[in-house]
Amino acid sequence: MSEPFGVYVHVPFCAERCDYCAFVTYTGVDDLHDRYVAAVLAELELRRECGPVPAATSIFFGGGTPSRLAPELLGSIIDAVDRAAGCEITVEINPEDATPSYLEALVSRGVTRVSVGIQSTSPLVLKELGRTHRGDSIGALREAVAASGVERWSVDLIVGARHETDEMVEATLASVLDGEGAPSHVSCYLLTPERGTPLGRDHARHPEEATLADRYELVDELLSARGFSWYEISNWARDGAACQHNQLYWRQGDYLGLGAAAHGHVSGRRSWNVAKLEAYLAQVEAGELPLAGEELVEGSSAAFERLALQLRTAEGVPRGSFLDPESLEAFLQPVGKRLVLTRRGRLMADELVRRLQVA
């Protein structure tokens, strides 16, 4: 069995920019697709010149919107990566791109998992989020995914829009998860107004903290009733369907980041690429690694980071990680020799991280 090692590929292209998005993305530059993929392949070769790159146990195409790229372009990157047996290959995809022909083409090029950014099926919520897809095509989406033969699929949801109701959340989960061909994995995020985004600038649309807490508890209840278990604060899966690549992050594993703004972590050294698209292209085409910065995380800093990541997961942290765990019993529950967040604790995770004690 190969030691876990991931490859993350950032695809910064989007058809439209969503109101809540603070990721490094670009619209109106689809003419750069071929050039960008060539640069990613060149960056991979530059990385290999610096030292051996282990065989990947997972590859994750994130963005942006990876499904803006033709399957042949995604496939050329997959083919260039040395892969271990059973490598999980995930592509994030927008609902409007999830046609039977596109999905089948992805599968033919080795993709084993797709993550579909549905966010909601409520037209009102989608409008508030600045999403352009319709929410009434879930049945067709499930049929297309099933016909493609992809091994697993996941959906991304966002809750907390200002005019969203409990009934809208319930309807979204029911339409996505009830019936044949449902996904085995759900990522659900609380709406966060990020600085510099249209949502961030419009305070009238900011969600209230109490509402976000209520939404999270509702989602957890609805997913638990359908046989899903949380394994990270924002992620739920049926047995055996957890995302291998994301687990690598939460276990402080090693991964290579390729593309504009991509981050990597190898042997305790964290690095990140330049974010501006033209700068990334220019540096790689000049034969230079597109690094924007790097840092070595070691000693107590690495130990604290490990605990902070573990705390977010259902694996929890060792009992000695908190000075006075009895005073936090509403937020932590003992499971064997470890402490795991309760549902209420998951909502307070950021505060609890500040109380962690490194042995």
Assess whether 225 and 317 both reside in one domain. no
Please give the pLDDT value at position 135.
62
Neighbouring C-beta atoms of residue 315, cutoff 10 Å? 16
Q: What is the pLDDT along the chain (359 residues), one digit of tens a residue?
A: 579 999 999 999 998 888 888 788 999 999 999 999 999 999 999 999 999 999 999 999 999 999 999 999 999 999 999 999 999 999 999 999 999 999 999 999 999 999 999 999 999 999 888 887 666 678 899 999 999 999 999 999 999 999 999 999 999 999 999 988 999 999 999 999 888 888 889 888 889 999 999 999 999 999 999 999 999 999 999 999 999 999 999 999 999 999 999 999 999 999 999 999 999 999 999 999 999 999 999 999 999 999 999 999 999 999 999 998 899 999 999 999 999 999 999 999 999 999 999 87
Please give the pLDDT value at position 199.
82
Please give the pLDDT value at position 136.
65
Q: Which domain holds residue 309?
A: 300-353
What pTM, to 2 d.p., does this model score?
0.95
Strands 269-273, 263-266: parallel, antiparallel or unpaired by DSSP? antiparallel
- Which of 234, 249, 264 corresponds to the end of one domain? 249
Residue 275 lies in a domain: no
- Burial letters 117-139, b for 16+ CB under 10 A, else e: bbbbbbeebbebbebebebeebe
CATH number for the domain spanning 235: value is 3.20.20.70
* φ, ψ of residue 230 in degrees (nearest 5): -75, 140
C-beta of residue 204 within 8 angstroms of C-beta of residue 171? no
Handedness of CA 295, 272, 254, 39 (dihedral sign): negative
Residue 175 lies in a domain: yes
Residue 278 lies in a domain: no
CA–CA separation, 5 vs 21, rounded Å?
A: 28
Please give the pLDDT value at position 134.
63
CA–CA separation, 307 vs 317, rounded Å?
A: 6
Q: Which residue has the tokens 């249209």?
A: 198
Token pair in block for residue 286: 């000049």
Q: Which residue has the tokens 């999980």?
A: 88
Amino acid letter, 61: F
Specify the number of domains making up the chain.
2
Please give the pLDDT value at position 133.
63
Please give the pLDDT value at position 278.
97
Torsion of CA 316, 321, 323, 325, to 10 degrees: 20
Neighbouring C-beta atoms of residue 35, cutoff 10 Å? 13
Assess whether 241 and 311 both reside in one domain. no
Residue 273 lies in a domain: no
Token pair in block for residue 279: 């700068």
Residue 290 lies in a domain: no
